[in-house]
Amino acid sequence: MQISKKIGLLLGPTLFSIIQFLPISLVSEKGDAVIAVAVWMVIWWITETVNIAVTALLPLILFPLLRVMPIEDVGANYGSPIIFLFFGGFILALALEKVNLHRRIALTIVKLTGTTPEKVVLGFMLATAFMSMWISNTASTVVMLPIAISVIKLLMDDKDGFTKGDKNFALSIMLGVAFAANAGGIATVIGTPPNSVLIGLLENQYNIQISFLTWMSFGLPFSILMITFVYFVLVKWMFPCKGIVFTSSTNLIDQELEKLGKISFEEKRVLTIFAITVFLWITRTLINGVFPGLKLSDTIISLLGAVALFAIPLHVKKGTFVLEWSDTSKLAWGILILFGGGLALAKGMASSGLVGLVTESIAQGNLPVLLTVSLLIVLMLFMTELMSNVALVAVLGPVVAGIAIGLNIPILNLLIPVTMASSCAFMLPMATPPNAIVFASGYVKVNQMVRAGIVLNLIAVALLILYYKFIIPFFF
């Protein structure tokens, strides 16, 4: 076990005990208990002493014991509708991966964008970003990495060897895939876990609902803008790949598509269910307007799509289906538990009066609103370079909501940009799984990722401040 993990293993419960059994009260009996549990969770999340999902189970044990909330109230957070929305999204992603449809979509996008080096990089970025809107950014990166490495090897094996231009191309394509995976997930509610944590917090604590279409209306433009900046920073500025000529990449993409063969009946079935689910997500408000008694929600649509993959037979006589329950062994169950733990912690903060205390403190401060907002965005973005963005949003979400109330600004105006900031980690290999995956390929050095990442982090901060000021108020 690493030293940091050993320290974290002891430090978490030790600080919990110190805070819990202090002779003086910090806030109140309940408030002190919630602070103690939160400190324990944050330390274990940062050091990853145990799996982050295991840490997320602590409120289920400690809140009832410390009389913060009864166990049935704590447990309700682990069965929140937003968790089932994400569960349905996971099932759809599982089906896409099982029939290899995600790979076919990715290769087709790369083929359509062209074969010059810059267009190849753009193609890989667009393909990765599109997949990250619907499946995990880890899975989309894993799909694209071997294809990207194959293209890089074409340059390594050509007549002039692996030149500086070739190395720049390799860097651009690798970093482009990782950064596009990070930015692409911001576009949809199910694209990246922090988005769902926020949606759950808003529904549970403030009875505010953001539909799939509404989120996509401002999330997709942000993703497009961020991916555009990533492309220009990598390809046009930091790692230009001029003077590279290769013709084999078209053949390589064609060969990979040929390996997949013609689109199968199973792929068509998954594509149909996937398309109907997305269509219903996008048109839900309109459908509910026409049929007001229907009360269709994003969660119901998500589960409808998931159940269809298990229940609609591919072949009636054979009794085969797209998915069997055994396929769910690959599902990210830990993330669902993590959501529940985050929501439980948020509920504890609210019920114990901690959020109210933060609200009052901020209200009495004299910092300009724009400066406070900017500092929160910067804090979230750079902290997510070092710890899980899901855990970070789970811990800071309720606090940021309290700050928004204290500043007398709509909570969505502040919570949405701060949450989006948690997905803009471009600087360090350990910040996100895509960053770690491409770093492990051997084509990217830490200093190269940091050099490009710091620029993109600052661009993301500027964009998010503009979003706070002009874009989010337009929607809400």
Output the pLDDT for position 187.
Answer: 96
pLDDT of amino acid 125: 95
- The SS3 assignment for 376 reads helix
Describe the chain by its helix, strand, coil percentages, rounded to 5: 75, 0, 25
Q: For residue range 295-350, what is the model confidence (pLDDT) as tens digits?
A: 888 889 999 999 999 999 988 888 889 999 999 998 878 888 887 888 888 888 87
Smallest CA-to-CA distance from 228 within 196, 183, 277 is with: 183
303 near 292, Cβ under 8 Å?
no
Write the burial class of residue 25 (CB in 10 Å: 0-12 exposed, 13-18 middle, 19+ buried): exposed
Contact 198, 209 (CB under 8 A): no
- Residue-wise pLDDT tens digits, 126-161: 999 999 999 888 888 888 888 888 888 776 665 555
Assign 385 a pLDDT band (cuts: 50, 70, 90).
confident
Asked if residue 413 has pLDDT above 90, the reply is yes
Compute CA 352 distance to the chain's CA centroid, rounded to the nearest angstrom.
29
Average of per-residue pLDDT across 419-432:
90
Longest CA span, the chain: 75
Count of alpha carbons within 13 Å of 411, Cβ hemisphere only? Answer: 22
* CA gap 407, 364 in Å, rounded: 9
pLDDT at 467: 96
Residue 349 confidence (pLDDT): 83
| Collapsed DSSP state (helix, strand, coil) of residue 380 | helix
Closest of 137, 102, 144, 97 to residue 121, by C-alpha:
144
* Region 234-257 average pLDDT: 76
**Phi, psi for residue 263 in degrees, rounded to 5:** -60, 130
- Report in angstroms the alpha-carbon separations of 309 from 47, 84, 93, 104, 205: 38, 15, 11, 19, 32
pTM for the whole thing?
A: 0.82
For the chain, which residues make up each domain, given as ranges?
Answer: 1-50, 82-330
Mean pLDDT of 435-446: 86
Q: How confident is the model at residue 359 (pLDDT cuts 50, 70, 90)?
A: low
Residue-level pLDDT at 419: 96
Cα 359 to chain centroid distance, Å, stands at 28
Angle at 241 between CA 439 and CA 444, to 5 degrees: 10
Terminus-to-terminus CA distance in the chain, angstroms?
48
- Residue 247: what pLDDT? 56
State CA 297 to chain mean position distance.
21
Ranges 80-89, 92-101, 359-368, 417-426: which has the least confidence: 359-368
Percent share of the chain, pLDDT over 90:
43
Span 28-50, pLDDT tens digits: 889 999 999 999 998 888 787 88
State residue 156's pLDDT score. Answer: 65
Average pLDDT, the chain: 88
Mean pLDDT calculated for residue range 105-117: 79
DSSP secondary structure letters along 64-83: HHTTSS-HHHHHHHHT-HHH
Residue 246's pLDDT band (cuts 50, 70, 90): low
pLDDT at residue 53, as a whole number: 86
β-bridge mates for residue 315, sequence order = 320
For residue 278, the model assigns a pLDDT of 87
Residue type, 62: L
Q: Per-residue confidence at 241, pLDDT binned at 50, 70, 90?
A: confident
In the block, residue with structure tokens 């279409």: 213
